[in-house]
Amino acid sequence: MSRIIHRSLRSTPPVAASAEGIYITDQSGKRYLDACGGAAVSCLGHRHPDVIAAMHAQIDRLAYTHTSFFTSEVSEELADHLVAHAPAGLDQVYFVSGGSEAVEAALKLARQYFVEIGQPQRTRFVARRQSYHGNTLGALAVGGNEWRRQQFAPLLMDVGRVSPVYEYRDRREGESQDGYTARLIAELEAEFQRLGPQNVIAFVAETVVGATAGAVPPTPGYFRGVRELCDRHGILLIADEVMSGMGRTGTLHAVEQEGVVPDLMTIAKGLGGGYQPIGAVLASGRIVEAIRQGSGLFQHGHTYIGHPTAAAAALAVQKVIQRDGLLAQVRTRGEQLRGALLRRLGEHPCVGDIRGRGLFMGVELVKDRDSKAPFDAADKVNQKIKQQAMANGLLVYPMGGTIDGRRGDHVLLAPPFIVSEADIEDIADRLGSAIELCLGRAA
Ligand code: PLP
């Protein structure tokens, strides 16, 4: 038995030995097509020569320095690059080592901003039920994944809760899309009123929901409604794009498709593409300026913030994305993936919904397509499909759990941006056969 505390304490996963492009090979020589980029991380695939060269040069020059003594050329350059490509107004960057740290930093920046401007009574966050924002205690508190929260609930801050955008299950019979969106915005307003809007720091939401429900996009106008409401009450909007950001949905930031600019935005996974652990908060200059004019010190920090080698890797990844036109490629391949999934699985009686944006697609599995009845938790459907897909040489990200008292099984696909059209067909085919082997064939 391994000495590492793996997620499952009863089994040890296969040992990954090497990787190339979109494939990972284990110690036994078995090759896996990585159709989920790990956890929607690997955007350029493996062994990209530009990223390796940039990291090598950086380590050779300056691997690490602590930000209480120095900044580094490469982290300053990365910050400039991110701001140059961010929605207007997000012009300050706080570097961290991953997604949960980014969310923690965003929560604290938001809180400190209100303390500095003389509104210390703002102590509440509002977030959505179907959401995942990370596993550290602050991030877990704003997240809505009951399964992950359960044991730790007594330790978590009390967060206001509203419904997610989840058209497949929650838009009522005969309700228009606009009517559904308006209902969600009214619910958010009611929650603000319940807490007292003057007491709320921020509304936190994933732009496209990832790890709890498999690539669920917002309805048109939802984030515009949220933005207006937040502005009316002086509440900040924190967009969590740890998973959906950095090109995954076909624009660098998913919010670009919503026509709004959040006050704080978290990014991570695709920022470094897995070459190094790195995340960041993109912050409105207004927030940082208030703290600069006030105490002059952001009361937060970690040992590895602004890590030069991580910054070098991320800068190289981001330059390749721009130079090689990969955002346009994500849009094209994303539509091909949607088409391939619909052709291969669209008629399957256990496939309830195929959704997503760009190379960020989810498949929702149901016991009965007409009633949308979910599988029982004991069936462990998403885990079985993950295992069968692995046996088929395919990596997909399984999700299951209880949200708002309802069960759900989902499979997330988030392949590297460099996938070819043939790879896309291969992914749909291998996933299709894994689903058929677990749940039977379409009639
Ligand atoms: N926020 C979102 C939207 C995520 O999907 C995740 C991870 O899946 C996190 C935060 C936490 O990121 P990390 O696992 O890097 O701490």
pLDDT digits (tens, 9 = 90+) for 86-116: 999 999 999 999 999 999 999 999 999 999 9
Angstrom CA distances, 346 to 163, 311, 332, 349, 432, stand at 27, 42, 20, 9, 10
Report the residue among 97, 269, 412 best suited for mutation to probe ligand 1: largest number of ligand atoms under 8 A from its CB. Answer: 269
Helix (H), strand (E) at residue 127: strand 124-128
25-68: pLDDT as tens digits: 999 999 999 999 999 999 999 999 999 999 999 999 999 999 99
What's the length of the chain? Answer: 443
The neighbour count for residue 358, using CB atoms within 10 Å, is: 28
394: its two tokens: 């395919």
Angstrom CA distances, 319 to 54, 323, 325, 437, stand at 11, 6, 10, 41
19-30: pLDDT as tens digits: 999 999 999 999
269-294: pLDDT as tens digits: 999 999 999 999 999 999 999 999 99
**Beta bridge partner(s), residue 413:** 361
How far is the C-alpha of 11 from the C-alpha of 65, rounded, in Å?
38
Name the 3-class secondary structure at 113: helix
Whether 198 shows a pLDDT value over 90: the answer reads yes
5-21: pLDDT as tens digits: 888 888 889 999 999 99
Cβ(252)–Cβ(258) below 8 Å: no
Cβ(312)–Cβ(58) below 8 Å: yes
Question: Domains along the chain?
Answer: 16-47+325-439 (3.90.1150.10), 49-324 (3.40.640.10)
Q: Give ∠ CA 25-28-29 in degrees, rounded to 5.
A: 45
Share of the chain above pLDDT 90, in %: 90
279: its two tokens: 């995340």
The pLDDT, as a whole number, for residue 126 is 98
Whether 442 shows a pLDDT value over 80: the answer reads no
Q: Cβ(99) to ligand 1 under 6 A?
A: yes
Name the 3-class secondary structure at 235: coil
How far is the C-alpha of 311 from the C-alpha of 81, rounded, in Å?
11
pLDDT band for position 404 (cuts 50, 70, 90): low
Report the residue among 41, 95, 132 best suited for mutation to probe ligand 1: largest number of ligand atoms under 8 A from its CB. Answer: 132
Mean pLDDT of the chain: 95
Q: Cβ(245) to ligand 1 under 6 A?
A: no
Residue 354, phi then psi, degrees to nearest 5: -125, 120
Q: Cβ(132) to ligand 1 under 6 A?
A: yes
The pLDDT, as a whole number, for residue 53 is 98
How far is the C-alpha of 98 from the C-alpha of 423, rounded, in Å?
29
pLDDT band for position 315 (cuts 50, 70, 90): very high
Cβ(222)–Cβ(185) below 8 Å: yes
Calculate mean pLDDT across residues 431-439: 95
Q: Give ∠ CA 110-115-118 in degrees, rounded to 5.
A: 125
Query: What's the burial of 132, exposed, middle or buried (CB within 10 Å: 0-12/13-18/19+)?
Result: buried
ipTM of this complex: 0.99
User: What does the DSSP 8-state code read for residue 381?
Assistant: H
Q: Cβ(398) to ligand 1 under 6 A?
A: no
Calculate mean pLDDT across residues 238-247: 98
